[in-house]
Amino acid sequence: MAHAPRTVQGTRRRRPHRTLPPWHLRVLGTWLAIGIGAVCARLPLGLLLRAGDLLGRAAWHVGGRRRRTTETNLSLCFPAPAHPADAREHLARATFRHLGISVAETLVAWLHPRRPLDHLITFEGFDALRTAAGTGHGVLLIGAHFACMEFIGGPLGRAIDLDVVYRRNRNPAWQWLQRHGRGQHFRHLIERDDTRAIVRALRNGHVVWYAPDQDYGPRHAVFAPFFGVPAATLTATSRIAALTGAHVFFMSQHRDLTRRRWCVQVSPVTDYPTGNSDADARRLNAIIETAVRVDPAQYLWLHRRFKTRPTGAARLY
CA separation for the pair 56, 95 (Å, rounded): 8
pLDDT of residue 1: 39
246 in a domain, yes or no?
A: yes
pLDDT of residue 8: 42
Angle CA 8–9–14, to nearest 5: 75
Q: 123 is in which domain, residue-wise?
A: 25-310
Distance from chain centroid for Cα 44: 26
Tell me the average pLDDT across 43-56.
97
Residues 291 and 252 sit within 8 Å (Cβ to Cβ): yes
β-bridge partners, 123: 264
Q: What's the pLDDT tens digit per position in 200-253?
A: 999 999 999 999 999 999 989 999 999 999 999 999 999 999 999 999 999 999
pLDDT of residue 77: 98
Q: Which of 201, 189, 130, 183 is nearest to 159 (CA)?
A: 130
288 in a domain, yes or no?
A: yes
| pLDDT exceeds cutoff 60 at 113 | yes
SS3 per residue for 14-77: CCCCCCCCCCCHHHHHHHHHHHHHHHHCCCCHHHHHHHHHHHHHHHHHCCHHHHHHHHHHHHHH
123 in a domain, yes or no?
A: yes
238 in a domain, yes or no?
A: yes
pLDDT of residue 278: 97
Query: 3-class SS at 277?
Result: helix
2 in a domain, yes or no?
A: no
Q: What's the pLDDT tens digit per position in 50-80?
A: 999 999 999 999 999 999 999 999 999 999 9
Number of domains within the chain = 1
16 in a domain, yes or no?
A: no
Element (H, E) at 142: strand 139-142
135 in a domain, yes or no?
A: yes
Tell me the average pLDDT across 132-158.
96
| Contact partners, residue 171, CB within 8 Å, separation at least 6 | 19, 20, 26, 27, 30
236-244 and 195-203 helices, crossing angle to 10°: 30
